[in-house]
Amino acid sequence: MDCTLTFLGTGTSMGVPTLGCTCAVCTSAVSPEGDHRNRRTRPSISLDFNSKTVLIDTGADFHAQAVRERLTRVDAVFYTHHHADHILGMDDLRPLSFRSPAPIPLFVDPTTESILRRVFHYTFRSEAEGRYLTSARVELNPLPTRDDGAAVGAEIPLFGAIFQRIPIIHGRENVTGYRFGSAAYLTDMSDIPDESLPYLQDLDILILDALRPQPHPSHSHLAKSIAFVEQLKPRRAFFTHMSHELDHAATDLTLPDHIRLAYDGLKLHFDITPASAPGHAETL
Ligand SMILES: [Zn+2]
Ligand SMILES: [Zn+2]
Ligand SMILES: [Zn+2]
Phi, psi (rounded to 5 degrees) for 271: -95, 120
> For residue 128, what pLDDT is reported?
83
Cα-to-centroid distance, 264 and ligand 1 (Å): 15
Q: pLDDT tier at 276 (50, 70, 90 boundaries)?
A: low
Cα-to-centroid distance, 218 and ligand 3 (Å): 8
> For residue 283, what pLDDT is reported?
39
Ligand nearest to the CA of 16: 2
Ligand nearest to the CA of 243: 2
> For residue 2, what pLDDT is reported?
98
Cα-to-centroid distance, 276 and ligand 1 (Å): 31
Cα-to-centroid distance, 203 and ligand 2 (Å): 33
> For residue 139, what pLDDT is reported?
96
Task: Flag whether pLDDT at 282 surpasses 50.
Answer: no
Ligand nearest to the CA of 217: 3
> For residue 131, what pLDDT is reported?
79
Q: pLDDT tier at 275 (50, 70, 90 boundaries)?
A: confident
Cα-to-centroid distance, 281 and ligand 3 (Å): 37
Residues with CB under 5 A from ligand 3 (ion): 83, 188
Task: Flag whether pLDDT at 284 surpasses 60.
Answer: no
| Whole-structure pTM value | 0.95
Percentage of residues in the chain with pLDDT exceeding 70?
97
- The string of pLDDT tens digits covering residues 39-64 is 999 999 999 999 999 999 999 999 99
- The string of pLDDT tens digits covering residues 166-186 is 999 999 999 999 999 999 999
> For residue 280, what pLDDT is reported?
40
Cα-to-centroid distance, 176 and ligand 1 (Å): 12
Give the mean pLDDT of 67-95.
98
Q: pLDDT tier at 278 (50, 70, 90 boundaries)?
A: very low
Ligand nearest to the CA of 23: 2
Cα-to-centroid distance, 168 and ligand 1 (Å): 13
Ligand nearest to the CA of 187: 1
- The string of pLDDT tens digits covering residues 113-168 is 999 999 999 999 887 887 788 899 999 999 999 999 999 999 999 999 999 999 99
Q: What is the DSSP string of the chain?
A: -EEEEEEEE-B-TT-BSPTT--SHHHHHHHSTTS-GGG-B-S-EEEEEETTEEEEE---TTHHHHHHHTT-----EEE-----HHHHTTGGGGHHHHHTSSSPEEEEE-HHHHHHHHHHTGGGSS-TTTT--TTS--EEEEEPP--TTS--TT-EEEETTEEEEEEEEEETTEEEEEEEETTEEEE-S-SB--GGGGGGGSS-SEEEEE---SS--SSS--HHHHHHHHHHH--SEEEEESB-TT--HHHHHHHS-TTEEE--TT-EEEEE---TTSTTHHHH-
